[in-house]
Amino acid sequence: MATYVLVHGAGSDSWYWHLVTAELVGRGHDVVAPDLPVADESAGLAEYTEAVVRVIGDREDLIVVAQSMAGFTAPLVCERVPVTLLVLLAAMVPAPGESPGQWWGATGHEQARRELDEREGRDPDAPFDPEVTFLHDVPQDVREQLFARGGGVQADRPFADPWPLAEWPDVPTRFLLCQDDRFFPSGFQRRIAEERLGITADEMPGGHLPALARPLDLVERLEEYRRGRG
């Protein structure tokens, strides 16, 4: 069995993983899902990394799964502790010296998002609506639980931090995109995985939040990765 380290994205917390955690624990795995200091304006990428490393402790046989913005943090964790496999899930992939705030323009994200909205009949200039962008495939009962919890605060501080590594860490890495992602369109993600990691992205159905919308499907993909170890 393995230790899964589940790292949430911006404006989120460990609850995002609760359905995946329950399934993995039921299969006999150890699971840690740290809460990053997303509301703390004094916390940057170093503090995010420290929060993950602290929760890992002396655990071994680590499979790190990084959702969305955690693509900036997870490689830094891999520099601190021995990681067996890194899985990027609908994730940002940083370039050396690039901050999360710079990533959007450097990758052409806005153009890709607009083109997808236009193809699918949505107004690309409409006000941001999380239900349209993030929750369109999340079951209603899970949506209600999410809204009842409140939260969703994300400090600006980490978006200013340049990614400090000179190159991607020497860790087997898989990239899993979501085919119906309205935030990080699938074609955009395929290009980023190829350009920045030199790998072909794997794909699963669903939108940007698969741990809430398709937890069992996601666990099956993670378990396939574990058995093949990348």
- Residue 229 confidence (pLDDT): 66
Phi/psi at 176 (5° precision): -115, 110
Which tens digits make up the pLDDT trace of 143-174? Answer: 999 999 987 899 999 999 999 999 999 999 99
Set out the domains of the chain in order of their start, with CATH numbers: 3-228 (3.40.50.1820)
- Average pLDDT of the chain is 97
Q: What is the pTM of this model?
A: 0.96
Dist CA 212 CA 172 (whole Å): 26
Which tens digits make up the pLDDT trace of 208-219? Answer: 999 999 999 999
Share of the chain residues as helix, strand and coil, in percent rounded to the nearest 5:
45, 15, 45
CA 20, distance to chain mean position in Å, is 14
Closest CA to 48 of 97, 5, 3, 89: 5
Tokens 């990614």: give the residue: 163
Stretch 124-145: mean pLDDT? 96
Q: Is residue 230 predicted with pLDDT exceeding 70?
A: no
